[in-house]
Amino acid sequence: MENEKELKNKIFVYDTTLRDGTQRADISFSVNDKLQLIERFDDIGIDYIEVGFPASNPKEMEVFGQLKNKKFSHSKIIAFGMTRYKDIPVEKDKNMGALIDSGAYGVAVVGKSSLLHVKKVIETTPGNNLDMILGTIEYLKKYFPEVHFDAEHFFDGYNENPDYALSTLKAAEEAGADYIYVCDTNGGALPLDALKVIEKVSGEIRTPLGVHFHNDNGCADANTIISVQKGAVVIQGTINGYGERCGNADLCTIIPNLELKLGKECLKKNNLKHLTNLSRFVSETANQSAYPHQPFVGQNAFAHKGGMHASGISKLSEAFEHISPEKVGNTRKILISELSGKKSIILKAKELGLDLEPDTGTAGDILKKIMDLEHKGYQFEAADGSFELLVREFGGKKKEFFKVESFRVLNERRADGGMMSEATVKVHVGDKRIIETAEGNGPVNALDSALRKAIISCYPGLSKIKLTDFKVRVLNEKKGTAAVVRVLIESTDGEKSWGTIGVSENIIEASWQALEDGIVYGLIHVGCKSGQ
Task: Note the pLDDT of residue 478.
Answer: 59
Residue 313, domain member (yes or no): no
Residues 64 and 209 in one domain: yes
Distance of CA 23 to the CA centre of its chain: 16
Task: Note the pLDDT of residue 529.
Answer: 46
Residue 513, domain member (yes or no): yes
Mark which of 238, 269, 300 sits at the end of a domain: 269
Task: Note the pLDDT of residue 477.
Answer: 59
Residue 392, domain member (yes or no): no
Domain that holds residue 427: 403-525
Residue 311, domain member (yes or no): no
Mark which of 269, 296, 314 sits at the end of a domain: 269
Q: How many domains does the chain have?
A: 2
Q: Residues 208-222: what's their mean pLDDT?
A: 98
pLDDT confidence tier of residue 300, bands split at 50, 70 and 90 = confident
Residue 227 pLDDT exceeds 70: yes
Q: Residues 201-226: what's their mean pLDDT?
A: 97
pLDDT in tens, 303-331: 776 555 555 555 556 666 889 999 999 87
Cα angle for residues 118, 121, 123 (degrees, 5° grid): 60
Percent of the chain with pLDDT over 70: 88
pLDDT in tens, 376-407: 777 776 688 888 888 888 766 678 899 999 99
Q: Residues 495-501: what's their mean pLDDT?
A: 87
Residue 348, domain member (yes or no): no
Residue 275, domain member (yes or no): no
Task: Note the pLDDT of residue 419.
Answer: 87
b/e burial code for range 343-362 (CB count within 10 A of at least 16 → b): bbbbbbbeeeeeebeeeeeb
Question: If you average pLDDT over every residue of the chain, what do you get?
Answer: 89
**Whole-prediction pTM:** 0.72
Task: Note the pLDDT of residue 352.
Answer: 63
Task: Note the pLDDT of residue 7.
Answer: 67
Cα angle for residues 484, 502, 478 (degrees, 5° grid): 15
Residue 530 pLDDT exceeds 50: no
Contact assessment for residue 109 and residue 144, using Cβ atoms and an 8 Å cutoff: no
Task: Note the pLDDT of residue 482.
Answer: 66
List 503's β-bridge partners, or say none. 486
pLDDT in tens, 87-128: 999 999 999 999 999 999 999 999 999 999 999 999 999 999
Mark which of 269, 303, 319 sits at the end of a domain: 269
What is the DSSP secondary-structure string of 466-527?
A: EEEEEEEEES-GGGGGG--EEEEEEEE-SS-EEEEEEEESSHHHHHHHHHHHHHHHHHHHTT
Residue 290, domain member (yes or no): no
pLDDT in tens, 152-165: 999 999 999 999 99
Task: Note the pLDDT of residue 497.
Answer: 85
Task: Note the pLDDT of residue 338.
Answer: 47
Residue 302, domain member (yes or no): no
CA 17/CA 21 separation, integer angstroms: 4
Cα maximum dimension of the chain: 91
CATH of the domain at 209: 3.20.20.70
| pLDDT-wise least confident of 166-175, 180-189, 493-502, 509-518 | 493-502
CATH of the domain at 483: 3.30.160.270
CA 344/CA 320 separation, integer angstroms: 14
Residue 504 pLDDT exceeds 70: yes
| pLDDT-wise least confident of 80-89, 348-357, 359-368 | 348-357
